[in-house]
Amino acid sequence: MSHQQSQPGWGQPQPGGGGEPPRRTRSTGKIIGLSCLGLIAVAVALVAAVTLTVGEDEPERRTPTSPATPQEENGPRGDVRIAACEVDSVTKWPSAELLITNRSSKASTYMVQVEFVDAANRRLSEAYATTNNVAPGQQSRVTAQSLDQVTVKISCRITDVTRFAS
């Protein structure tokens, strides 16, 4: 007669603590959740910092539809001058070279909008130029370049200037 012995783990549970091993809890969900909360907290802190910074020094603007006044010439619009206005002979892209002189008392960032018009004063294109951290009294040369091809003689006009403390 053959006698079969049962192997441990087969058949009936073994006395003294056999059965299922204890389950390990995974902390992956907790890690992901806490990571998301951390990212949200960082994003909220960044938004608050930017809001506080912008709130201290509101940007100064000149709208394109308002006529120039002596006060505006003393403001950000008066800090920007068109040094050159041309159409590239190869690409046919119009550009305006701008000379920006920071006449404010704080280091400033400038955003300038330029439009390109033909002899009939029709708007052909527009471009933007920016420069950062221009110290008081310092000058910066930047180019506003459009990617629209133009085949006629153009004029350049500054339509908007925004200046804010850097």
DSSP states of 56-76 as a string? HSPPEEE-TTSPP-HHHHHSG
d(CA 124, CA 53): 36
> What is the pLDDT at residue 58?
44
Which of 20-29, 98-107, 127-136 shows the lowest mean pLDDT across its residues?
Answer: 20-29
Decide: 165 and 59 in contact? Cβ < 8 Å.
no
Beta strands in the chain (DSSP E): 60-62, 80-87, 94-101, 108-117, 123-134, 139-145, 155-165
Query: Does pTM surpass 0.85?
Result: no
Single-letter residue type at 131: T
More confident residue, 71 or 145: 145
> What is the pLDDT at residue 115?
98
d(CA 135, CA 18): 77
Decide: 115 and 96 in contact? Cβ < 8 Å.
no
Residue 120 pLDDT more than 80? yes
User: What percent of the chain is modeled with pLDDT above 90?
Assistant: 54
Residue 4 pLDDT more than 70? no
- How confident is the model over 30-61, as pLDDT tens digits? 666 556 555 565 555 554 444 444 444 444 44
> What is the pLDDT at residue 1?
55
Residue 76, both tokens:
């950000």
How big is the chain, counted in residues?
166
> What is the pLDDT at residue 99?
98
Residue 109, both tokens:
């960032």
- How confident is the model over 126-163, as pLDDT tens digits? 999 999 999 999 999 999 999 999 999 999 999 999 99
d(CA 58, CA 88): 36
d(CA 6, CA 63): 91
d(CA 125, CA 1): 102
Q: Which helix (H) or strand (E) holds 37?
A: helix 28-56
d(CA 87, CA 153): 8
